[in-house]
């Protein structure tokens, strides 16, 4: 049985200061454009890199051809995606670090969203019969100086799914059940030939995106991501998302829940790190301690 963390802390929580955080530190999305170099043939209007900041797009085409974002109907407005173009690059800083943690689902730590999509082999029913992906390489960095190439392309499986309760792949309906953009798709899913309903089931609550395992390149934490387009490539980037751990009490990410996680939480709290805002209310205060306490007592098993 785990000991109440307030006993471990000697009830010091009562003296902990309330710290209001800037929104950028809290969001698990890209928070800042570090550098953007447009490549060849970037369409007019699609050169605003701020389009890749914040949450991925759930509903696209407002004012022209509105519709829910699905793997067959990706986001396409200039306000929703930024085009890199052959020879160009985009570097962004995450608002919250992506951590290589034992409880991250499928070993995925970071998700990239783009506007590639599946080709409908039975239009408009939605049957995967290929894809239109524009490639692009992905590099990650802890310090923004030394970058490491990951083994997946910027536009690849799995295209974005905005809602889980849509009547079909091409619909103006806004769903009532949003997908989870911080939950990756199981990388073992083979979508080829799947119908729309089968695809939604295979996504299993996820909003799709390209899953990235930062541990595969030897990093325990990532703060920066760079996407580069090579010859013949022109990826359109929508967003980045830090994966939500299946056990948020495992603050040090080692697959165990123990006193060291409480010490890690205290350190994050004291330094104003957004990862300590466990109740996600924009402030570091006693309620985050209460939240951690409940998570800690529940425990998790890797």
Residue 198: cis peptide before it, omega within 30 degrees of 0: no
Supply the angle between the helices 286-298 and 259-270 in degrees, to the nearest 10: 160
Residue among 64, 105, 95 at smallest CA distance from 280 = 95
The fraction of the chain above a pLDDT of 70, given in percent, is 91
Q: Is residue 302 part of a domain?
A: no
Q: How many residues in the chain? A: 302
For residue 135, is pLDDT > 90? yes
Q: Is residue 270 part of a domain?
A: yes
For residue 16, is pLDDT > 70? no
Same domain, 103 and 239: yes
Same domain, 23 and 42: no
- How many Cβ atoms sit within 10 Å of the Cβ of residue 31? 21
Helix (H, G, I), strand (E, B) or coil at 267: helix
Residue among 301, 248, 256, 237 at smallest CA distance from 276 = 248
Kindly indicate the confidence band of residue 243, based on its pLDDT and cuts at 50, 70 and 90: very high
User: Could you give the CA distance from residue 291 to residue 14 in angstroms, rounded to a whole number?
Assistant: 15
Same domain, 281 and 159: no
Query: Which CA distances in Å does 107 have to 175, 211, 276?
Result: 29, 9, 22
Over residues 243-258, mean pLDDT: 84
User: Could you give the CA distance from residue 214 to residue 229 in angstroms, rounded to a whole number?
Assistant: 20
**Ramachandran region of residue 92, left (φ > 0), alpha (ψ -120 to 50) or beta?**
beta
Where among 243, 264, 284 does a domain terminate? 243
Summarize pLDDT for 48-93 with one digit per residue, the tens.
999 999 999 999 999 999 999 999 999 999 999 999 999 999 999 9
Whole-model pTM: value is: 0.86
Summarize pLDDT for 153-200 with one digit per residue, the tens.
999 999 999 999 999 999 999 999 999 999 999 999 999 999 999 999
Q: Is residue 88 part of a domain?
A: yes
Same domain, 147 and 283: no
């Amino acid at each position: 049985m785990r000991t109440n963390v307030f006993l471990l802390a000697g009830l010091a929580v009562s003296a902990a200061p309330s710290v209001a955080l800037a929104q950028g530190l809290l969001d698990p999305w890209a928070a800042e454009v570090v550098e953007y170099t447009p490549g060849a043939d970037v369409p007019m209007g699609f050169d605003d890199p701020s389009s890749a900041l914040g949450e991925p797009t759930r509903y696209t085409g407002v004012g022209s051809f509105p519709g829910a974002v699905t793997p067959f109907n990706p986001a396409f407005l200039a306000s929703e995606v930024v085009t890199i173009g052959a020879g160009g690059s985009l570097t962004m800083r995450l608002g919250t670090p992506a951590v290589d943690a034992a409880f991250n689902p499928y070993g995925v730590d970071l998700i990239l969203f783009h506007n590639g999509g599946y080709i409908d082999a039975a239009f408009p029913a939605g049957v995967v019969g290929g894809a239109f992906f524009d490639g692009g390489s992905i590099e990650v960095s802890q310090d923004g100086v030394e970058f490491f190439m990951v083994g997946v392309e910027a536009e690849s499986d799995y295209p974005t799914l905005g809602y889980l309760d849509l009547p079909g792949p091409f619909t103006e309906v806004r769903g009532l059940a949003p997908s989870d953009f911080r939950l990756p798709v199981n990388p073992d899913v083979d979508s080829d030939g799947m119908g729309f309903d089968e695809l939604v089931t295979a996504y299993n609550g996820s909003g799709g995106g390209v899953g990235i395992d930062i541990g595969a390149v030897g990093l325990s934490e990532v703060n920066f991501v760079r996407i580069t387009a090579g010859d013949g490539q022109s990826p359109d980037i929508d967003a980045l998302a830090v994966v939500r751990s299946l056990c948020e009490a495992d603050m040090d990410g080692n697959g165990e829940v123990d006193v060291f996680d409480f010490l890690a939480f205290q350190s994050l709290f004291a330094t104003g790190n957004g990862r300590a805002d466990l109740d996600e209310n924009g402030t570091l205060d006693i309620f985050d301690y209460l939240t951690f306490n409940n998570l800690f007592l529940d425990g998790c098993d890797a």
